[in-house]
Every structure is written in structure tokens, then in C-alpha cells.
Amino acid sequence: MRFDEVELESLPETEDDASPTVAVIAAPNARAPIFKRLLALLTDLSLFAALALALYPLLPAALPWPSTVAMGAFIVVLSYYYFVGTWLLWGKTIGGAIFDVRVVSDEREAMPLRGATMRWAGLYASLLTGGIGFLFRLPDRLSRTRCVAT
């Protein structure tokens, strides 16, 4: 028998199971700790650092300035598709999946494309200011989202 052919059956209730069981579940709207958010972001950024290091030997040696700018632009565009795509599809990136951090919209059930794009822009603005934007939760405020612990 294969694993996908197994059918699960519920157990019949007995009179001995009169006491209810209590499951401890984290509050669904609990904000994710800053340390977990930072680790998730560093994990995601390390993916792009590894990609840049892997592509660097492919650059031509004759024109370092234009080719370096082109590779940087490629990495930025790829990061847009990565971050916005994963936020729209799953609500979390690979780093968010590892550290149990999910991005949810404040207003709607699903995050709109504009909100995900504004979050990506806030992420880059926060990185360009040396992390000051993260102290004021700039990506969250621009996109009207919040990070929750799953």
C-alpha cells in the first residue's frame, strides 16, 4: 500500500474521554518578534548574495562598471519577483517559512499587488537607510501589513 492510499479513520468516542483536551495555540494576530523577522530577512538576503557571488565570474573583465551595474539591476528585479511573488502566493518567503513569520494584510484577507510592491519598496528604503526604516516598521506602514508569528 502506498502512503497516498492510506485512509484516516476517526476513533469512536468513549465515556472515558469525558474530560475535554485543551490545545495551546499561539494567538493568530500576535506580532512576530523583531529578532525572528531579522533572521528571516537575513536568510532571504543571503540567497541574493549567493546568487551575486555565483554570477560574478560570468561578468566580462573588459567593462567592469556597466556589467556590474547590469548585474545589480538584474538582482534587484529578481528580488522584486521573489519577494512580491512569495508574499502574494504564500504570505511568506523562504526565510519566513524557516522562522515562522508570515505577512498578513491589515485591511483584507489577501494582500493586494500594490501592497506587496509598497512593502518591497519599503524593504529597500529601509536597507538603504542602514536599517533605520526597520526601527519604524517602514515596510509594514507603507504596505498596511504586519508580520505575525505562525
Using a 10 angstrom Cβ sphere, with 0-12 exposed, 13-18 middle and 19 or more buried, the burial of residue 132 is exposed
Domain limits for position 108: 27-149
Task: Report if residue 17 sits inside a domain.
Answer: no
Task: Report if residue 8 sits inside a domain.
Answer: no
Task: Report if residue 5 sits inside a domain.
Answer: no
Using a 10 angstrom Cβ sphere, with 0-12 exposed, 13-18 middle and 19 or more buried, the burial of residue 83 is buried
Residue 24, pLDDT score? 46
What's the distance, CA 39 to chain centroid?
11
Q: In one letter, which amino acid is 8?
A: L
Task: Report if residue 10 sits inside a domain.
Answer: no
Listed residue (48, 12, 28) closest to 127, CA to CA: 48
Task: Report if residue 142 sits inside a domain.
Answer: yes
Residue 95, pLDDT score? 96
Task: Report if residue 35 sits inside a domain.
Answer: yes
Residue 59, pLDDT score? 81
Domains of the chain: total:
1
Render each residue's pLDDT in the chain as its tens digit; 150 residues.
555 566 666 666 666 555 555 544 555 668 899 999 999 999 999 999 999 999 888 888 777 788 889 989 999 999 999 999 999 999 999 999 999 999 998 877 788 999 999 999 999 999 999 999 999 999 999 999 999 998
Residue 84, pLDDT score? 96
Task: Report if residue 19 sits inside a domain.
Answer: no
Using a 10 angstrom Cβ sphere, with 0-12 exposed, 13-18 middle and 19 or more buried, the burial of residue 80 is middle
Task: Report if residue 13 sits inside a domain.
Answer: no
